[in-house]
Amino acid sequence: MKMRDQFNALENEIQRLRQQQKAIVILLEQPRLLEQNMVTKERWVDIMVAAGMREEDMMNWHKQFEKMVPDAHQEFLESLNIDEKEIIKIRTWSKES
């Protein structure tokens, strides 16, 4: 039974990663969206939700982004026209485990 539980946990993690991948692919296919500030915070959240991500998945996405490339995470948040106070808040909880 333990192996089945581990298998299911891995399958769930794979699904979450695929959802994150879908959201990133959307941006990679249309980089002008970010470059021209055509994607707002609200629109980005809509994209993530459409890709099947839940709130928990989106928070994990931010945490991984902050961990891997903090400067790019900052630039990304700025590109969404998020105000400085909210960016600080997002980056602060993104650094927490």
Say how far apart CA 28 and CA 20 lie, in whole Å. 13
Q: How many helices (H) and strands (E) does the chain have?
A: 6, 0
Please list the pLDDT of the chain residue by residue as tens digits (97 residues). Answer: 788 999 998 998 888 788 777 777 776 777 676 666 667 899 889 888 887 888 988 898 899 889 989 998 998 899 888 999 999 999 999 998 6
Q: Is 52 left (phi over 0), alpha (psi -120 to 50) or beta?
A: left
CB burial of 3-33 (b: ≥16 within 10 Å; e: otherwise) equals eeeeeeeeeeeeebeebbeebeebeeeeeeb
DSSP state of 10: H
